[in-house]
Amino acid sequence: MTLITDFSIARPAGRLIAADPTTFGPISRPKRGAWRLIDYETELFSGRFLQASDPEAAVLTVPLDCRGWHAVSIGIAATGVKQGPASIEVRLEGDEHWQHLRAAGWSDYVEEPWIIADLTGQSLQVRFPRQGRGPALARLCSVRAVPVSDDHVRELEAERPRPLMFTHDGNMFGGAEPGTEVVERVFRPFAGSPWTFGCYGVGGADCVHYDTKVGTIIGQDAWDGEDGYLGSYDVVTRMIAMGIDPMQAAIDSAHRMELALIAYLRVQLWTCEPPLDHQFRSRFYAAHPEYCCVEADGAVDASKLSVAFPEVRRQLNGIMRECLERGADGVCLCFARGFPLVRYEQPVLDRYRERFAGDARELDDRDERLRSVWAEITTEWIREIRALLDEFGPSARYERRKLALIAGPDVEWCLGYGIDVGAWGRAGLVDIVAPYPRGIERREDLTELMIDGVGQYARALEGTAVELLPSLGSFADGAMTVREVRVRADGCYRRGATGLSRWDTMHWLIHLQLESAVAQRLWVDHYLPPAANAVVSTAGLNRIRFNPRIGV
């Protein structure tokens, strides 16, 4: 094993400042584009780490002197009293892509399981982070390279890559410069990567970010709403005036980069936070309160329209048709962010009376007979969508246009809303199911619950051709460590996932070899670096017995 903790070996040496490794003595003189070397000690080792706060800091090269395949982990510490997260970008010399890694907590020392690769003749390159937002502090504390056995290498080389699906909301934020660049930059990081297709948001329900004849352009007539979103209507309409249809530009951009694009709808986002926010307000919704979902006691859910009404389905299907006409490779229904689809509306009551007699309003929403009626209605809609997709025939990227579902955390959650993914899979109606941890985003046992849910889906879809691509996380865990990602990915693969997805896919996930189930298993079973390794001292200051944070 190779463990590098003293980075005085980095080159060029002229870009290193070694004059003040501790706090005892005068502050070193600044040097343009340089990195400081600072003494540190953890419970397991000691050395001199690299630190830079200058965005123009030079790219450094660290010799590895390794031969053959190794599992490489990168150590970072965010230790500091008033400092924010520390981060670094690394790559093997000659690689095109840089990997962004970070440590968030003020006292954290983390070794991130980065890559399994052949290091023969390779060196590590390090640079100041360019992918993060806001002020940054660059820091590199250790590099650990553990030899990978020949048997494990053979497993890696024999494996076929698993499918990876990214998601992007497609929001046109106010203040963006109108033009094709605003959509092209969404897809550029995924070009040439294992993430070969994505769900790109057209908006919510029939509220969209393109020139629509069916729906409403998001933000039309809006003047009061959340900072950042207001102004999107101006961006979209200015693009349309320039002869650029934003959705067409997105599909064309993805295809130029050899990526498939699946147009996704948050199917129940007819309005958002009414009447607090003007931004999402469908004209169709506003004109048809008679289509709202209704509870058993007669209370009206005045934000959701029921798919029990053919008129509502026809409106949603019209949006999907507009996307398919522009060349989308499929459509995705996001069920996990906007529900229910159907409740106790008159068509439900009529269908229930026809099937079972009696009044459905006397039943709670766990009754299997009522749920069967809901599933019957939603299945009719799914068949309509499947027929629509098949009507358009092959796409630029697929022989059969895809129908994807972003579903809830487990099968039981779905059945409670009339979403029968198992039946739809067995009937050949859907192609992709992407479980999302709705309602459990902030649970401490999130990973365990997610993995259990994946097992439920795998059993429900057993024997079908449906790709099971669970989301590795949610909006609430953007600060996940690479270790957490690998443990979660490995658990999903072991429970039957055929691939992976990620809600709001962050760019630092793209080149972590997540397309390899073998790599995740090898990391978890054999090559994860130590998890418990507290920082003892930095720059000569004891951080355990005499913590400098005391009294600050």
pLDDT in tens, 133-163: 666 789 999 999 999 999 999 999 999 999 9
DSSP SS3 for 194: coil
pLDDT in tens, 293-332: 999 999 999 999 999 999 999 999 999 999 999 999 999 9
As beta bridge partners, residue 538 has 40, 541
The mean pLDDT value of the chain amounts to 93
pLDDT in tens, 43-97: 999 999 999 999 999 999 999 999 999 999 999 998 766 667 889 999 999 999 9
Cα–Cα distance, 198 to 328 (Å, whole number): 11
Which DSSP string do the residues of 325-342 spell out, in sequence order?
HTT-SEEEEE-SSS--S-
Q: Where are the domains of the chain?
A: 2-156+530-542, 164-269+312-338+376-515
The conformation of residue 439, written as its DSSP 8-state character, comes to T
pLDDT in tens, 405-460: 999 999 999 999 999 999 999 999 999 999 999 999 989 899 999 999 999 999 99
Domain 2-156+530-542 has CATH 2.60.120: yes
pLDDT in tens, 175-232: 788 999 999 999 999 999 999 999 999 989 999 999 999 999 999 988 887 777 788 8
Question: Looking at residue 139, what is its pLDDT?
Answer: 94
Question: Looking at residue 144, what is its pLDDT?
Answer: 98
Q: Tokens for 475, please give them.
A: 């909006």
* Burial classification of residue 419, based on how many CB atoms lie within 10 Å of its CB (0-12 exposed, 13-18 middle, 19 or more buried): buried
Q: Is the link from the previous residue into 55 a cis peptide, with omega within 30 of 0?
A: no
Residue 552 in this model has a pLDDT that exceeds 60: no
Pick the closest to residue 391 from 464, 317, 465 (CA basis): 317
Over the range 11-35, which residues count as b (16 or more CB within 10 Å of their CB) and which as e? eeeebbbeebbeeeeeeeeeeeebb
Pick the closest to residue 320 from 268, 269, 267 (CA basis): 267
The pLDDT-based confidence of 174 (bands split at 50, 70, 90) is confident
> Which residues have C-beta within 8 Å of that of residue 150, sequence separation ≥ 6?
none
Residue 511 in this model has a pLDDT that exceeds 80: yes
Q: Tokens for 492, please give them.
A: 């999903």
Question: Looking at residue 10, what is its pLDDT?
Answer: 98
Q: Tokens for 312, please give them.
A: 């509502």
The pLDDT-based confidence of 132 (bands split at 50, 70, 90) is low
Pick the closest to residue 209 from 241, 228, 227, 233 (CA basis): 233
- In the chain, the amino acid numbered 226 is E
For residue 147, what are the CA distances in angstroms to 61, 67, 143, 525? 21, 9, 13, 14
Which DSSP string do the residues of 226-268 spell out, in sequence order?
-TTTTTHHHHHHHHHHTT--HHHHHHHHHHHTT-EEEEEEETT
pTM for this prediction? 0.95
Over residues 350-371, mean pLDDT: 96
Pick the closest to residue 378 from 401, 357, 407 (CA basis): 407
Which DSSP string do the residues of 445-507 spell out, in sequence order?
THHHHHHHHHHHHHHHTTTS--EE--BS--TT-TT--HHHHHHHHHHHHHTT-SSEEETT--G
Which DSSP string do the residues of 116-170 spell out, in sequence order?
EEE-TT-EEEEE---SS-SS-EEEE-EEEEEEPPHHHHHHHHHPPPPPEEEEE--
Write out the H or E segment, with its range, that includes residue 402: strand 402-407
CATH number assigned to the domain covering 164-269+312-338+376-515? 3.20.20.80
The conformation of residue 6, written as its DSSP 8-state character, comes to B
- In the chain, the amino acid numbered 132 is G
> Which residues have C-beta within 8 Å of that of residue 479, sequence separation ≥ 6?
104
